[in-house]
Amino acid sequence: MPEENNRPAPIPQPESDYYWEQAKAGKLVFQKCGACGSVQFFPRVLCTSCNSTDLEWIESAGKGSLFTFSIVHQPPHPGFRNAVPYITAIVELDEGVKMPSQLIGIDPEPEQIEIGMRLELAFEELNDSISLPVFRPVG
Ligand SMILES: [Zn+2]
């Protein structure tokens, strides 16, 4: 098997099955609490603010801004050997959720990347069941 196919993929859990199904369909969803209104990512059984189980799924419009980033030069796993250097990032969606992701479509050079830059959703297909939400610069 080629090394690029050995990249580890997320393993959906019961609380995240819906999230991964939607990602495979090209949609990014997050949870909103019906009791206190908090939004959260990643998917959980309970609201992280009030412990309510009254959570609903909200589809993101797929726009956000760069909260922080790091350029990865050392592969964290042999499956990433052909991917480095790449940009790992925390993206703040316009809906208020902060999520870990990866930036694409931009050189992994610090002078090319700006905190607060506008980003839009894209997907990277890892395998038959997992598509990863990633982000690229708007425009
Ligand atoms: Zn809550």
Q: For residue 22, give the H/E element and its range.
A: helix 17-24
Determine the distance separating the centroid of ligand 1 and the alpha carbon of 46, expressed in angstroms. 8
**Residue 42: which domain range?**
13-59
* Span 26-76, pLDDT tens digits: 999 999 999 999 999 999 999 999 999 999 999 999 999 999 999 999 999
Determine the distance separating the centroid of ligand 1 and the alpha carbon of 33, expressed in angstroms. 5
Q: How far is CA 132 from CA 21, 93, 112, 124, in A?
A: 11, 16, 23, 5
Q: Is the pLDDT of residue 79 over 70?
A: yes
> How many domains, the chain?
2
| 125 strand-pairing partners | 131
7 located within any domain = no
Residues with CB under 5 A from ligand 1 (ion): 33, 35-36, 38, 47, 49-50, 52
Assign residue 138 the CATH number of its domain: 2.40.50
Determine the distance separating the centroid of ligand 1 and the alpha carbon of 28, expressed in angstroms. 20
4 located within any domain = no
Residues 125 and 69 in one domain: yes
Determine the distance separating the centroid of ligand 1 and the alpha carbon of 34, expressed in angstroms. 7
Which strand ranges, in their side-by-side order, compose the sheet holding 55-59? 39-40, 29-33, 55-59
Q: What percent of the chain has pLDDT over 70?
A: 96
Residues 43 and 32 in one domain: yes
Determine the distance separating the centroid of ligand 1 and the alpha carbon of 88, expressed in angstroms. 29
| DSSP string covering 33-97 | ETTT--EESS--SS-TTT----EEEEE--SEEEEEEEEEE-S-SSGGGTTT-SEEEEEEEETTS-
Going by C-alpha positions, the residue among 116, 93, 120 that lies closest to residue 104 is 120
Q: State pTM to two decimals.
A: 0.91
pLDDT of residue 5: 57
* pLDDT tier for residue 1 given thresholds of 50, 70 and 90: very low
Question: Can you tell me the distance from the alpha carbon of 67 to that of 72, in angstroms, rounded to the nearest whole number?
Answer: 17
129 located within any domain = yes
138 located within any domain = yes
1 located within any domain = no
